[in-house]
Structure 1
Amino acid sequence: MEEAKTWLAAKPHRIGPFLRIPRPELVEMLGMAGFDFAILDLEHGPTAPADVYPLILAAERRGLRLLARIPALQESYFKWLLDLGVGGIQVPHVKCREDAERAVAYGMFAPGGERGMCRFVRAAEFSNIPKEDYIAEANRNRLLVLQIEGKEGLDHLTEIIEVPGIDVIFVGPYDLSQSLGLIGQIWHPEVVKAVEEVITLCGNKGVEVGVFTDTPEGLAHWKKLGVKYLAYRVETEILLNAFKSTLTDAHDALR
């Protein structure tokens, strides 16, 4: 797998949807369509541990980087997902420096962290990769994305981004709007201002920023402000709208 920082830097931006239906066919289609990545949503989706292996295989076959948004900041999620060879971990609701330090520790082998070590897992090709190479490659290749989704995370952002080992600070605008007392109003000036402050602070520290948006206008807006990691829409919503559009076209043709 391509080194995380190289992958981020290789294009002006990276775009991919959230994925909640754990089917390898969908993963392959996202890769075939040309998306850069997909975020397997274990926080809000029905994916079980046994579902993940074929999804990773499908992503690798189509050159799609598959990340996993874990349900919570727990070491066990890092272990089994990284051991399977997932392309990155996205951590929700990071609120303080200690959260960031734990995420880095769980996601990296020493000296950068304290990730549980086993070289007989799929990510190490079941011991086919020499252990020294596996350790070095695993630390370089994993992508760590920390989500700032509330006022507490905003208040501690300057401390969070001081933690080495973070690749992307990701803003979840819907949860952020709720935390600011503006639930669902992701384009309210106060919410937009908060996201722009995140972009500025991270830019000053050389940390990449990610944002979720569900409109083309949102993509254009955040890209202009330098956001490189663009989570765009959710595959369930994309499919539903495609089905509606298909049926509308059919009804129009039958009139």
Structure 2
Amino acid sequence: MEESPRDLVRNRVKEKLAGNELVLSMAVRLVRSIEIVSIAQSAGFDSFYVDLEHSSFSLEATSQLCIAGLSLGVTPFVRVPSISPDCIAGVLDGGALGVIAPHVQGADEAARVVRAAKYPPSGSRSFTGALPHVRFRSFPAIEVSAAIDAATMVIIMIESAAALEAAEAIAAVEGVDMLFIGTNDLCAELGIPGQLDHPTIRQAYATCMRACASNGKHLGIGGLNANPALAADFVKLGARYVSTGTDLSFLAAGAAAKTRQMRERFSPPSFN
């Protein structure tokens, strides 16, 4: 049977979330070559996101990573540096299956992200043929746009007091798939920097979980890679998407652990 765009465009994160399964993700902000995607797959990650907000990656490098993710079955997202339509369209056309939008303060801005990420009639994204999502094959535009719209996720970060207050309204926006709490930034915005286990943060997660549950959306955890016990509490609360850390933090932690191990085991004798 001949493949259709819906056969080719699969977002495994969306499928796992629909089945109430745990999704583990990593952020990429150091390694620009496609080897990092193979490492993510070998390590068992479901997804990765290229962090354009906190890196100097080019659109070209971002696209290459996303295309590798499509090929290897590791769902590629991009955290965009701004919610401008051209920025969102650029990363999606390059191969991303979703955008993570930072600094959204309310439902109006969330709706702008949806419009930029979706094709008409749901949004205003401009259509171009030969997309990497369908392996650059030619299909009727209406089939491709429908398949990509169905697979593309819009993830809104909650990282300010204003966004937290508007969580219910943001979750109610049609086309928003997930609220993703940036815990460190939220702590700083709420005047409790670094206090990840503060009751206010626990309440913030509970507030967002209620907003997601009442609107059929999902909740994501960010910034808790150093506190897996706390992240586990929020998974029990209902969060299902967990950002586990960055390629940079994994490399730094692994290198530091190895040098400690070597020095402890092979410390040379003292010389007088």
- TM range, normalised to the smaller chain? over 0.9
1:14 aligns to what? 23
Aligned length: 255
**Is the contact made by 1:82 and 1:123 (CA closer than 8 Å) also made in structure 2?**
no
2:260 aligns to what? 248
Q: CA RMSD in A?
A: 1.7
1:232 aligns to what? 244
Q: How far off its partner does 1:122 sit?
A: 3.3
2:51 aligns to what? 41
1:54 aligns to what? 64
Q: How far off its partner does 1:52 sit?
A: 1.6
What is the distance in 1 between the residues matched to 2:142 and 2:70?
23
Q: Percent identity among equivalent residues?
A: 25
Task: Normalising by structure 2, report the TM-score.
Answer: 0.88
**CA gap 1:89/1:157 in 2 versus in 1, 3 angstroms:** same
**Is the contact made by 2:114 and 2:176 (CA closer than 8 Å) also made in structure 1?**
yes
Matched, 1:157 2:167: yes
Bigger mean CA offset, 245-254 vs 108-117 = 245-254
What is the distance in 2 between the residues matched to 1:235 and 1:5?
23
2:116 aligns to what? 106
Matched, 1:88 2:98: yes
User: Cα deviation per residue 1:217-236 (whole Å; 9 max; x = unaligned)?
Assistant: 13311111010111112221
What is the distance in 2 between the residues matched to 1:129 and 1:252?
60
2:35 aligns to what? 25
> Any gaps of 5 or more consecutive residues in structure 2?
1-8, 268-272
2:10 aligns to what? 2
Matched, 1:186 2:196: yes
**Is the contact made by 2:167 and 2:207 (CA closer than 8 Å) also made in structure 1?**
no
Could you tell me which amino acid in structure 2 is paired with residue 61 of structure 1?
S
1:198 aligns to what? 208
2:143 aligns to what? 133
**Is the contact made by 2:29 and 2:57 (CA closer than 8 Å) also made in structure 1?**
yes
1:144 aligns to what? 154
SS class of match (2:124): coil
Q: How far off its partner does 1:127 sit?
A: 5.3
What is the distance in 2 between the residues matched to 1:70 and 1:107?
12
Q: How far off its partner does 1:251 sit?
A: 2.1
What is the distance in 2 between the residues matched to 1:30 and 1:122?
20
SS class of match (1:164): coil
Structure 1 stretches (4+) deviating beyond 6 angstroms? none
What is the distance in 1 between the residues matched to 2:87 and 2:139?
23
What is the distance in 2 between the residues matched to 1:201 and 1:80?
30
Bigger mean CA offset, 242-251 vs 62-71 = 242-251
Q: 2:83 aligns with which of 73, 95, 107?
A: 73
What is the distance in 2 between the residues matched to 1:234 and 1:14?
16
User: Cα deviation per residue 1:169-218 (whole Å; 9 max; x = unaligned)?
Assistant: 11111111111111222211112212211112221222111111213213
**Is the contact made by 1:96 and 1:152 (CA closer than 8 Å) also made in structure 2?**
yes
Could you tell me which amino acid in structure 2 is paired with residue 12 of structure 1?
E
Bigger mean CA offset, 153-162 vs 100-109 = 153-162
Q: How far off its partner does 1:130 sit?
A: 2.4
What is the distance in 2 between the residues matched to 1:199 and 1:11?
14
User: Cα deviation per residue 1:14-36 (whole Å; 9 max; x = unaligned)?
Assistant: 01121111221112101111101
2:181 aligns to what? 171
Could you tell me which amino acid in structure 2 is paired with residue 110 of structure 1?
P
Could you tell me which amino acid in structure 2 is paired with residue 242 of structure 1?
G
Could you tell me which amino acid in structure 1 is paired with residue 138 of structure 2?
N
2:5 aligns to what? none
**Is the contact made by 1:28 and 1:61 (CA closer than 8 Å) also made in structure 2?**
no
